[in-house]
Amino acid sequence: MSFFQLRSLPGSVWPAVPHPQVSLVWNAYQQLDRTQWMRPEQIEQMQLQQLNALLAHARKNVPYYAGLLHEDPITSPEALRKLPVLTRELYQSNFEQIQARALPEGMTAGDKGSFTSGTSGVPIKVLKTNRDALWWSALFLRDLEWCNIDPKGKLAVIRLLAYKPQDLPAAMAGATVPHWNPSVKMLIDTGPCAGIDIRLDPRKQLDWLRREQPDYLLSMPTNLEVLSSLVRESGEPLSHLKMIQAIGEPMSAEMRMRIESGFGVPVKNIYSTTEGGYIASQCPDGHGLHVHSETVLCEVLDAHNNPCKPGETGRLVFTNLHNFRTPFIRYEIQDEVTLAAAPCPCGRGLPLWLHVEGRRYPNLRLADGRKKSSIGIVLGLRQVGGVHQFQMIQRELGRAIVRVVPDQTWTPEHPNRIREVMQREFESPIDVQIEQRPYLERLAGGKLKIVVVEME
């Protein structure tokens, strides 16, 4: 495999022999190299076999599922849809009962757990095993290959790095480690990885990037969008940058175009979640996102809970096929997905999505009691322009806040144009407070919600 150099044991040059601690990762990756070319119906049948192993474990060892799952095996997608959906709220309220009392042979409990970002409420805790870590590392290798990334280059990472307040000053100062990913550092050779916390002022982030001069950049789309605007405004591109990976948030086609235009390099998208791990990555031929069906079984459902047809958009419900410690069986993530209209021309049998819509835009609360999607405000404010970033907040009827980070095209007329958009979308006079800020602060989880409705 030419896209990375296998690190071998001392004295073993050819054929290379990986370190025993990561040989399982290498074996798993080689399996992924084969399974991606299976026919869709073959992939589906293998998924159902793994699903039944998970369900049998959950019935026996997970109290929450003991009375919910029947013993008959699931033999079709139709049978799967008869199982109950697990919502975020159900998971939170039944967390103690969702934890497995025992694990299959060979599985060991991981660390103290991971937390979701909490953008839709209270963060939830996800417990994992060594099996989850194995597949995460194997899919990391697949993603490197699909994106045609040379890991010997320098990587810059701008994401949530400090999970405790006392760690934030150091995380905002930035640090460099000698390897991209600790979990595979004994398997492949990589260049250094420089990291900085995403809550730093984007202008300071850009200064840091100019000092670091990375070959690759990884961050969230909303952060990449404002950085690309700052780069475009400065007229000074990042000369060493070859490619960007967008993670952690949905990325629309328009957002991708703005990021690529500003930086002048291609953007690759990764769709992953704490609950599901790697879910989908960009097709190597650029046709959309391929689902990693070896580790997650995805359903895209319409408003009547029926599977969407090719080309349609629906809400995502997924099953993590390898988390036996806190099983996510038919978990509703509240993201929306658009299915491709036809199989991928690249020949892979993995399902193809055009894009992930992300969480639905929250509904505005109108003066007459109606609710209305806020997508019109998002599109309208983007059309007004004059800003690097914006955020709209509604906390009460008849009043709203619009926070903006002005760019060099901002004029005294822009506030009036913003108020016109707000009045049009709220369909009545509304008091709009416009706040100019040097940058927009992010939530504790590192994400940025561009529309916030804080009303029941």
Q: What is the pLDDT of residue 372?
A: 79
Q: Give residues with Cβ within 8 angstroms of 125, minimum separation 6.
A: 95, 113, 114, 115
Q: What is the pLDDT of residue 206?
A: 97
Nearest CA to 154 among 128, 178, 188? 178
Task: Give pLDDT tens digits for 175-217.
Answer: 999 999 887 788 888 999 999 999 888 999 999 999 999 999 9
- Looking at the structure, give the CATH architecture of the domain made up of residues 363-453: 2-Layer Sandwich (3.30)
Number of neighbouring beta carbons within 10 Å of residue 106: 8
Considering only CA atoms, give the Rg of the chain: 23
Task: Give pLDDT tens digits for 109-124.
Answer: 987 766 665 444 456 7
Between CA 26 and CA 2 the distance in angstroms is 15
Exposed e or buried b for every residue in 149-159, given b needs 16+ CB within 10 A?
A: bbbebbbbbbb
Residue 417 identity: R
Task: Flag the least confident range among 27-31, 136-140, 149-153, 446-450.
Answer: 446-450
Nearest CA to 390 among 442, 440, 441, 444? 440
Q: What is the pLDDT of residue 124?
A: 79
Q: What is the pLDDT of residue 1?
A: 44
**351 CB-contact burial (10 Å; exposed 0-12 / middle 13-18 / buried 19+):** buried
SS3 assignment, position 85: coil
Q: Are the C-beta atoms of 158 and 48 separated by less than 8 Å?
A: no
pTM: predicted TM-score of the whole model, two decimal places? 0.83
Residue 403 is given by DSSP the state E
Span(s) in the chain for CATH 3.40.50.12780: 1-360
**The domain 1-360: what is its CATH number?**
3.40.50.12780
Q: Give residues with Cβ within 8 angstroms of 45, minimum separation 6.
A: none
Number of neighbouring beta carbons within 10 Å of residue 315: 20
Span(s) in the chain for CATH 3.30.300.30: 363-453
